[in-house]
Amino acid sequence: MKFAIVLMFVFAIFGAVFGAAPRGQLVGAEKCTWGPSYWCASRQNAVSCNALQHCETKVWGNKG
């Protein structure tokens, strides 16, 4: 009986933690979440991800 209660508790916690994400939306689906390697691959990416200043100062050295 105690095992069944513990098992139900584990499944409840698991469901609460992993069931909270919206269905159908994959992690990383939004390209701007890919980070500086994506942002600074082009000026267009940097602008669309609002990272132009970061790319210019930290990655491109104001050559962007």
One-letter identity of residue 14: F
Helix (H) or strand (E) holding 63: none
pLDDT of 27: 79
Confidence of residue 64 (pLDDT cuts 50, 70, 90): very low
* Residue 5 to residue 23: CA distance in whole angstroms: 28
Q: Convert the pLDDT of each residue in 4-59 to its tens digit.
A: 777 677 767 776 666 665 667 787 889 999 999 999 999 999 999 999 999 999 99
One-letter identity of residue 44: Q
Length of the chain measured in residues = 64
Contact of 32 with 38, CB cutoff 8 Å? yes
Contact of 51 with 36, CB cutoff 8 Å? yes
pLDDT of 63: 61
Confidence check: pLDDT of 62 > 70? no
Residue ranges of domains in the chain: 30-64
> pTM of the predicted model, to two decimals?
0.56
